[in-house]
Amino acid sequence: MTDTKVVLVTGASRGIGRAAALACARAGMQVIATGRAQKALEDLDDEIRRVGGLPATIVPMDLTDFDAIDRLGGALFQRYGRLDGMIHAAAHLGELTLVAHATPRMGEQMIATNLTASWRLIRSMEPLLIQAPASRVIFFTSGVAHHPRAHWGLYAATKAGVEAMAKCWADEIEFKKVVVTVLNPGGVATMMRKNAFPGEDQATLPQPEHLSSLILELMSESHTQTGTTVHFRETEHYRAWQSAYQANA
């Protein structure tokens, strides 16, 4: 069994998922990158190679294809026999609208992508994660999960559900040396954020790569507290970005 850590990153084609995949690759990990856009995943692999990382294993897939998640788990078991980490960054914002005005199709898509896919990933990847000596898992949440407001109902509900499920799972498998963290990135300059706040000046926000050092910290063996929520804006990593931003303003 190789000592190289094997990490699955969902939503790796752009935004925080892409930044996380690059950070892990730079740190010497073998990245399994999933996303819906094959070209974007190929571009990610090209960049990983340029920075000296191990060639990524790219898996174009839609996480609402739940059978594909199971097949991925089986393929990873056959190839690696374990999974040292999972960073589940894929998410679907949907249309911000009144709860009563959301169409069934839109609601079902959001629940499938944000909540059901998270459960199916847990179900398929747990056997691999518990084979690693010290695996680390990151899920992402949002401020609206704890501070609900108009037009965010379905997204807030799915994120609150993911957070609750992740923490229940963390409690179930703590003895397996799997450390589960829920990360709230706050406002970050991503396409999803731009869609939610089209008038916002994204130059005033951290870029996805500014989360990289925190993500690597949460993926390290020194991070041992499971079932916690970490708020990026309450960490030294955010304060470092803030100081640099203010110095250059």
Average pLDDT for 198-205 = 89
Query: How would residue 3 be classed by pLDDT, with cut points 50, 70 and 90?
Result: confident
Query: How would residue 189 be classed by pLDDT, with cut points 50, 70 and 90?
Result: confident
Cα distances (angstroms) measured from residue 132 to each of 34, 68, 88, 191, 222: 21, 23, 18, 34, 15
pLDDT tens per residue, range 85-106: 999 999 998 889 999 999 999 9
Per the structure block, which two tokens stand in for 129?
Answer: 């994660």
pLDDT at residue 84 is higher than 80: yes
Classify residue 54 by its DSSP letter.
Answer: P
* d(C-alpha 104, C-alpha 196), whole Å: 20
Mean pLDDT for the chain overall: 94
Tell me, what's the pLDDT at 192?
A: 87
Count other C-beta atoms under 10 Å from residue 185's C-beta. 25
Query: What is the sign of the dihedral through the CA atoms of 220, 222, 227 and 231?
Result: negative
Whole-model pTM: value is 0.95
Tell me, what's the pLDDT at 197?
A: 86
* d(C-alpha 247, C-alpha 49), whole Å: 33
Q: Tokens 């059901």 belong to which residue? A: 116
Run of H or E including 171: helix 153-173
More confident residue, 100 or 174: 100
CB 33, CB 57: distance < 8 Å = yes
pLDDT tens per residue, range 40-62: 999 999 999 999 999 999 999 99
pLDDT at residue 1 is higher than 60: no
Furthest-apart CA atoms within the chain: distance in Å: 52
DSSP assignment string, 198-247:
TTS-GGGS--GGGGHHHHHHHHSTT----SEEEEGGGSHHHHHHHHHHHH
244 Cα distance to chain centroid:
25
Q: Give the range among 26-40, 166-180, 189-203 with minimum mean pLDDT.
A: 189-203
Query: How would residue 230 be classed by pLDDT, with cut points 50, 70 and 90?
Result: very high
